[in-house]
Amino acid sequence: MAHPSGALILHAGGVHLIGCFGVTIVFNVAMNEALARMDLSEDAAGACWIGTYLPRWTFRNTTPALTCGLSAALLPFGLMWAMQAQVA
């Protein structure tokens, strides 16, 4: 029977894949492409940047930061748990 540490390591990878990579691809890339299509010399672009883009960007960058931190905490814990199980 497999040790539960393997599931923890797998979850660490899943958290990173979905929470960091997935959020970046789905949300941030689309926002960057929309911003790239704007005429930055117009006042509407500045209003969009401050009123819409910046709050969304900040929120959507917080999620990957937190999930990367969670993944970074889960992985070493799972690896240490697996090593302890092999020694015992």
Q: What is the pLDDT of residues 3-60, one digit of tens each?
A: 788 898 999 999 999 998 899 899 888 888 888 888 878 888 788 888 888 888 888 8
Quote the number of domains for the chain. Answer: 1
Task: Please check whether residue 85 lies inside any domain of the structure.
Answer: no
Gap between the Cα atoms of 71 and 41, Å rounded: 41
Task: Please check whether residue 84 lies inside any domain of the structure.
Answer: no
Residue 2 has pLDDT above 90, yes or no: no
Task: Please check whether residue 67 lies inside any domain of the structure.
Answer: yes
Tokens at 82, concatenated: 């697996």
| Angle 22-24-29 from CA coordinates, rounded to 5° | 125
Gap between the Cα atoms of 37 and 34, Å rounded: 5
73 versus 86: which is more confidently predicted? 73
Task: Please check whether residue 30 lies inside any domain of the structure.
Answer: yes
pTM over 0.85, yes/no: no
Which range of residues forms the domain containing residue 50? 20-34+42-77
Task: Please check whether residue 64 lies inside any domain of the structure.
Answer: yes
Task: Please check whether residue 12 lies inside any domain of the structure.
Answer: no
Task: Please check whether residue 50 lies inside any domain of the structure.
Answer: yes
Residue 74 has pLDDT above 80, yes or no: yes
